[in-house]
Amino acid sequence: MSTPPTRRRTASHEVSAALLRAAETVLDRDGSDGVTVRAVAEAAEVSPTSVYNRFRSKDGLTVALAVRTLARLGEIVDVPAGPEPRERLRQSCRNYRDFALRHPARYALIFGTGSPLEDQSSEAAESGRAVFTVLKGLIGDVAPELDDGELPEAAQTVWAALHGSVTIEQAGIGQTPDADATFEHMLDCLIQGVTAS
């Protein structure tokens, strides 16, 4: 009763953050299907009720994990301004690839089948749109001639190529010998395609 409200809110926030970190550990270890209220409670060494009180369900956990993952992805693709715009876009795309290859389960959660982003009204979809906005900004700097209708199309094309590229690489089914070189070639091609139209 004597604890100041701000301190109580901080403490509650910290508990949520700890549960989310535990959920992420479960996700990395067992994939999306493994992220259940029970498994997260076990990993966090709390009661299932504690997890349930904060995230309600497996779906609640999934959305919270997607928001967290997309926030992190948004940070790493938002390469600080400074380099020449094309080089900045390239670095952003390289960061995207690194993230996907380092965290395949998190990546599959946000962009694979059953992604919570499919529900356009979810908080996760909002986080997805924020990452897309970063990508649009980077491409807009590379191709300032694109109008408001063309820019989202160009960004969607770049995203599709990135997504296809990293999921092909994750599945180990690429048809070229050097994935690094192929990725750089793809970036050449995309930048040519985006700026030539």
Interacting residues with a copy of itself (CB under 8 A): 108, 111-115, 117-118, 125, 128-129, 132, 150, 152-157, 159-165, 167-168, 170-176, 181-182, 185-186, 188-194, 196-197
Considering beta carbons, is residue 114 or 144 the nearer one to a copy of itself? Answer: 114
Query: Phi/psi class of residue 122: alpha, beta or left (left: φ > 0; alpha: ψ in -120 to 50)?
Result: beta
Considering beta carbons, is residue 28 or 42 the nearer one to a copy of itself? Answer: 28
CB of 17 to a copy of itself, least distance (A): 26
The contacts of residue 182 (CB under 8 Å, 6+ apart) are 165, 174, 176
CB of 164 to a copy of itself, least distance (A): 3
CB of 86 to a copy of itself, least distance (A): 13
Instruction: Give the number of other Cβ atoms within 10 Å of residue 87's Cβ.
Output: 12
Query: Phi/psi class of residue 147: alpha, beta or left (left: φ > 0; alpha: ψ in -120 to 50)?
Result: beta
